[in-house]
Structure 1
Amino acid sequence: MHSISRRTFVGAAAAGAASIALPLHAQNRPITLVVGSAPGGTTDLSARMLAEPLAKILNTSVVVDNRSGGNGNIAGQMVARAPGDGTTLLVQYSGYQSITPLLQPVQGFDPSRDLKPIGHLIDAPQVLVVRPGFPAKDFKEFIAYVKANPGKVNYASSGNGALQHVTTELLKDLTKTFMTHIPYRGTGPALTDLLAGTVDLTITTPPPLLPHIRSGKLKALMVTGKTRLPSLPDVPTATEMGVALVASSWFAVYGPSGMQPDLQNKLSAAVRQVVESADFRRRAEEQGATAIAMTPAELAALGTRERGTWERIIKVAQIKAD
């Protein structure tokens, strides 16, 4: 785990930019966007996509602070306990918001209770990809092959309890199939073995997969989103193929438990302004994701729904944390 944070400074606004004033005690102080993972992942990318335009709107400076460890609990507790003045916010990954509390609960801390929802950033559906030479040319053939070979097909994930893991278990539940789980310590090692043909498939978000799909090294069979990805227009959704699997990684902004509703709503409006901008939408699409704005109430409801879905699958599959 990373014990030393990495901080990236994003400059304040250019003169004349539209701004939303913060409370007097928070003005001219940098806003810290805390990220519960190391630099380079999609959570970190989401924070950096948000930082500069948010700085312009709020007429202040924004700092991205990576605090990895504890499956998001370190960053989450840090923000939950921070002053509620709008200067410390969390850019949160859905797995840490809805799955980690079910597998690694922390006494006295529950992100759904102790973090104030502010706004949704991006939604990144997952893609099912198979190794080179896997004997199925499409999703229907894949399901037929797995049913004909129960337990012989194995799938990689970035670890026990990861969204990749619980999503594939949900697929197994919906299709009444059986596949063997091979957990890895991260997406990188899992992809290395998948490309080498050591494992048969994985389901994960598009950014690390797109180069290998485009080069023909991996074959994409299905997307778990509600609609097809613009970056993979020929790959059908699971729903199109008759399987009601909709599962995405989403990334959103939360504030401390002590934040007052008026400030929560003010920051939500600023985040929405960023997310609805053409530049943010374009950058999200380039990563195989979709920019989606939400109110605090809509974001809270999303987290509640997802926790219920994953709680059922975790019990059915008897998933345990590492």
Structure 2
Amino acid sequence: MMTMTTRRRALLAVATTLTTSARAQERSYPDRSVTIVVPAAAGGGGDFAARLLGDGLSRELGQTFLVDNRVGGGGTVAAMTVARASPNGYTVLLAYSGTHVTFPSLFPSLPWDPERSFTPVALVLRAPHVIVVRRDLAAATLAELADLARRNPGRLTYASSGAGTIQHIGGEWLAGIFGAPMLHVPYRGAGPAMNDLVAGTIDMMITTPPAVVGLLRDSSIRALAIASTTRHEMLPGVPTTTEAGFAEFELEAWFAIYAPAGTARSVIDGLSSAVRRAVVEPVFQRRSIEAGTIPAFMDPEELAAFTRSELGRWSEIIRRLGIRSE
């Protein structure tokens, strides 16, 4: 018969074994492939960021980083996939600001929380948004687009990768500046939306440079302005919104890595350090800049504070614009 003391010793032995095993796994992380879940379809800015980072981390850590595109629900499908994953560092989220802070600011009753459901790892990239239109739209400048919207209230269409995303809120913000309503057309990801813009079935989209640089080179679409105070070196002929006469419209996207809540600090620190090294690699820097993004880095503490600040900022923008969830 097992006595109370014997039971305690047995339980302590099991706990010690489990703890030792967990610590050994943390020290050897990663010892197998890691999945980066991204709330974007193939061809979008988030997909580019995930694949660029995955390649860099593979070089740094010697393991394969797989990209898993989980589109739907304004980022909810991807977010829940990671939030419910084992907190061991082998399933992480490549979050896009439009789905990680803008969407939750509009829909506060989601089954996941951008702060409590995740552990911040690192900021990876920043990217200004660019306002692009179908190639045959009768507007060569942002001022002409505003005039076209005013002459056709509610008829000018703009695409987004989903309701509540940064493209959606940005479109409503721009419509407010124009003083004319525009018709929002949501898609399941930036890739499908861009396909329709190229086909000419949608008039306009606000998106990040990775999705449009190649299309602009072959004149499949046109860029009217970049929503920044400075021109972008990969789009030198595109004026800023300030130069175009709409200085109040500044819109920047960012991409960051988050792990499930409860992930061991040693795993978080190891992955964050690898991201820090990856973003300064010459290959990473070159590919990032060629695609129109800006390599950036924040450590876990900085990213946590930044996430909280961004949630507050977007909540205020949405409140000021009077946008409500449907």
Distance change (3 Å), C-alpha of 1:226 and 1:303: farther
Measure how far apart 1:106 and its partner are: 5.3
Of residues 143, 166, 177, the one that matches 2:179 is 177
- SS state of the match for residue 254, structure 1? strand
Q: 2:260 aligned to 247, 256, 262, which one?
A: 256
Q: Distance in 2 between matches of 1:84 and 1:301?
A: 21
Contact 1:160-1:319 within 8 A present in 2 as well:
no
Q: Give distance in 1, aligned partners of 2:308 and 2:243.
A: 26
Please name the residue that 1:312 is paired with: 316
- What CA distance in whole angstroms lies between the structure 1 residues aligned with 2:194 and 2:65? 34
2:289 equivalent to 1:285: yes
Matched, 1:269 2:273: yes
Task: Give the Cα separation in 2 of the matches to 1:105 and 1:115.
Answer: 16
Q: Is the CA contact 2:132–2:224 (under 8 Å) kept in the aligned structure 1?
A: yes
Partner of 2:299: 295
Contact 2:39 2:72 in 1 (8 A): yes
Question: CA distance change for structure 1 residues 93 and 27 in 2, over 3 Å: closer, same or farther?
Answer: closer
Aligned to 1:244: 248
1:43 Cα offset (Å) = 2.1
> How many Å separate the matches in 2 of 1:76 and 1:131?
32
1:96 aligns with 2:84: no
Cα distance in 2 for partners of 1:190, 1:36 equals: 15
Counterpart selection for 2:126 from 112, 123, 128: 123
The CA distance in 2 between the partners of 1:66 and 1:135, in whole Å, is 35
Query: Is the 1:222–1:235 contact (alpha carbons within 8 Å) kept by the matching residues of 2?
Result: yes
Displacement of 1:167 in angstroms is: 0.8
Note if contact 2:43-2:211 (Cα within 8 Å) is conserved in structure 1.
no
| Residue in structure 1 matched with residue 203 of structure 2 by the alignment | 200
Q: Distance in 2 between matches of 1:53 and 1:202?
A: 30
| Structure 1: gaps of 5 or more residues | 1-20
Aligned to 1:24: 27
Is 1:87–2:82 an aligned residue pair? no
Q: Is the 8 A contact 2:44 2:210 kept in 1?
A: no
**CA 171–60 in structure 1, closer or farther in 2 if over 3 Å, else same:** same
Stretches of structure 2 that go unaligned for 5 or more consecutive residues are 1-23
Measured in 1, the distance between the counterparts of 2:211 and 2:110 equals: 34
Gap change, CA 1:294 and 1:133, over 3 Å in 2: same
| Post-superposition offset of 1:148 | 6.0
Matched-pair contact (CA < 8 Å) for 2:45–2:209: no
- Give yes or no for contact 2:78–2:93 (8 Å, CA) kept in 1: yes
- Output the TM-score relative to the length of structure 1: 0.79
Task: Specify the SS of the correspondent of 2:68.
Answer: strand
Deviations 1:295-319 (A, max 9, x none): 2233223323332333234342424
Is 98-107 or 43-52 further displaced after alignment?
A: 98-107
Judging changes above 3 Å, is the alpha-carbon distance between structure 1 residues 235 and 96 closer, same or farther for their aligned structure 2 residues? same
Residues 28-57 of structure 1 deviation map (CA, whole Å, 9 limit, x = unaligned): 233332223444433233222222331332
Which whole-Å CA distance do the structure 2 matches of 1:30 and 1:196 have between them?
38
Q: 1:170 to 1:280 in 2, by over 3 A?
A: same
Contact preservation (8 Å) 2:106, 2:315: no
The residue type paired with residue 325 of structure 2 is K
What is the number of residues matched between the two proteins? 300
Matched AA of 1:318: I
Helix, strand or coil: the match of 2:234? coil
Structure number with higher helix proportion:
2
CA distance in 1 between partners of 2:236 and 2:109 (Å): 41
Q: Which has the larger radius of gyration?
A: 2
- The answer on whether the counterparts of 2:175 and 2:182 sit within 8 Å (CA) in structure 1 is no
Percent identity of the aligned residues? 38
Counterpart position of 1:5: none
The answer (yes or no) to whether the contact 2:149–2:178 under 8 Å persists in 1 is no
Q: Would the aligned equivalents of 1:157 and 1:181 in 2 still touch at CA under 8 Å?
A: no
Query: Deviations for 1:216-256, whole angstroms, at most 9, x for unmatched residues?
Result: 34331111134322221011222344512221332111112
- One-letter amino acid of the structure 2 residue matched with residue 44 of structure 1: D
Q: 1:133-168: CA deviations, max 9, x gaps? A: 544432344445545665454433343223211112
